[in-house]
Structure 1
Amino acid sequence: MKNNWSKNSANKYIKKYKKLGFSKDLALRVYTTRLLGRNNELVLHGGGNTSVKTTIKDIDGKKYKVLCVKGSGWDMADIEPAGLPAVKLEPLLSLKKKKYLSDEDMVSFQKRNLINVKSPNPSVETFLHAFLPFKFVDHTHADAILNATNRPGGLNFCKKVFGNKVSIVPYVMPGFMLAKKINEIYSKNPNINCLILMNHGIFTFADDAKEAYDLMIK
């Protein structure tokens, strides 16, 4: 798969969004999200999401650690900062040990912790992005991955094919319980940089935007 990262283009995004009042973190998140979204082998019909952990100053003048994660109604191919609503990170992390959260309560909790309440609803996979302790998290429904996971005996096939930097995750409906499962798996395997979710897709993550993108393209 072709790697479309360009240092020149990345710098242009940084300069463009700096003039509009946005951070380097958010500029690079927009850039690599678009790269992923414009690749039909990775993203079809708006599937997938991305995030970046950064800091934002709220209207009260205080700086907050936030998770900027793809919001509902936005296409990855032409995402803007407005399509990456900022959710306060610490409240999300405070629920790591909670045993269960209904979808309704999860959505309500995410909305309550938005920096801007007028922002679009954060992704249903917001908690998953929050629980992975990396700055940049990328998620797609890559064709090659789905071809591997959605076949008979897909779980055993994936375990044989993919290396020890990858963890294979049995299917769990997207939402809080999937985030809990991912947190459990990562805690036991902190050296991984990729998660393959059966019948779902792939997550890659790193503290550098290019590295997270490169892992996805591999």
Structure 2
Amino acid sequence: MSEFDEYFITPDDPGVVIDEATGRLSYRGEPFSGYVEVGAEGEPREFWSYSDGDRDGYWGGWYSDGAKRYEGGFHHNRPVGVWQEWYPSGRLRRVDRYDLDEEKESSVVYDEQGRVIEIWDELTRKGIPRDAIDFHDPLLSIDWAAVAEYEGAPFTGAVIERIGTSGPIVSLETYVDGRRDGPTRTWYWDGSLRSTGQFSKGRAVGTWSDYDSDENSGP
């Protein structure tokens, strides 16, 4: 075996040890940098990339006929960016998105006809209805008395506000017949809860709470 060959190993090599808890790989007692190839031609195959023992770089898998099964990337042992899965037919099955802190930003699952069967994203995490209206929607109007209209008619539904065009959601207001009615919540930029409250027919009611940005453990 040449020195170059050691950059390409197989998981059944007796020198390979993969830590089940962390995913780190050592080879012959040392953190491994290189590539792991799984499966022979005509079998389900996978390709894993490592750097200094960490999962790092491109990961992909294929069905036995060569059709793509999944692909994505790791950075220092954490999934990042876009991960995708496909059915054997070639139709997209799943799309997951991660940020650099290994936080899953969103996940969408499709059936084999391409219909969405599951969605998980910021709206899901924050308990916000999927039909919520953006505060900056040009068809939405909220006057100085907090009376909301949409396309000129009293608005019923949820209004969210983001930081910038595509930044995190930082507030939620709910309206019934144009008046604030129902839960109101705000969040810090990191997604932690900032405050909660309740309106009824335009008036604040019940208990309102503010949360610390660091501990976020109570009012």
**Which TM-score band applies after superposition, normalised by the shorter structure?**
under 0.3
TM-score normalized with structure 2 length: 0.25
**Which structure's residues are more often strand, by fraction?**
2
Tell which structure's C-alpha radius of gyration is larger: 2
Question: Relative contact order (alpha carbons < 8 A, sep ≥ 6): 1 or 2 greater?
Answer: 1
TM-score normalized with structure 1 length: 0.25
